[in-house]
Amino acid sequence: MSATIALVDDDRNILTSVSIALQSEGFVVRIYSDGDTALKALLDNPPDLAVLDIKMPRMDGMELLRRLREKSDVPTIFLTSKDDELDEALGLAMGADDYITKPFSIRLLVARIRAILRRTDARADSAEPDAPPAERITRGRLEMDPARHKVSWDGKEVTLTVTEFLILEALAQRPGFVKSRDQLMDTAYQDDVYVDDRTIDSHIKRLRRKFRAVDNEFKAIETLYGVGYRFGEE
In the prediction, which pLDDT does 147 show? Answer: 74
The CA distance from 14 to 16, in Å, is 5
Task: Kindly report the average pLDDT of the chain as a whole number.
Answer: 83
In the prediction, which pLDDT does 159 show? Answer: 80
144-178 pLDDT, tens per residue? 988 777 899 999 988 887 778 889 999 999 999 99
Looking at residues 215-230, what average pLDDT do you find? Answer: 93
Tell whether the model's pLDDT for residue 191 goes beyond 80.
Answer: no
Looking at residues 69-78, what average pLDDT do you find? Answer: 88
Residue 213 backbone dihedrals phi, psi, to 5 degrees: -70, -25
Of the pLDDT bands very low, low, confident and very high (cuts 50, 70, 90), residue 108 is: confident
In the prediction, which pLDDT does 166 show? Answer: 85
- Its pTM stands at 0.63
Of the pLDDT bands very low, low, confident and very high (cuts 50, 70, 90), residue 82 is: low
Residue 146 DSSP label? T
Residues 6+ apart with CB under 8 A from 117: 3, 48, 49, 75
In the prediction, which pLDDT does 208 show? Answer: 92
The CA angle 112-25-101, to the nearest 5 degrees, is: 35
39-61 pLDDT, tens per residue? 999 999 999 999 999 888 888 88
Q: Domains in the chain and their CATH numbers?
A: 4-125 (3.40.50.2300), 137-231 (1.10.10.10)
Of the pLDDT bands very low, low, confident and very high (cuts 50, 70, 90), residue 96 is: confident
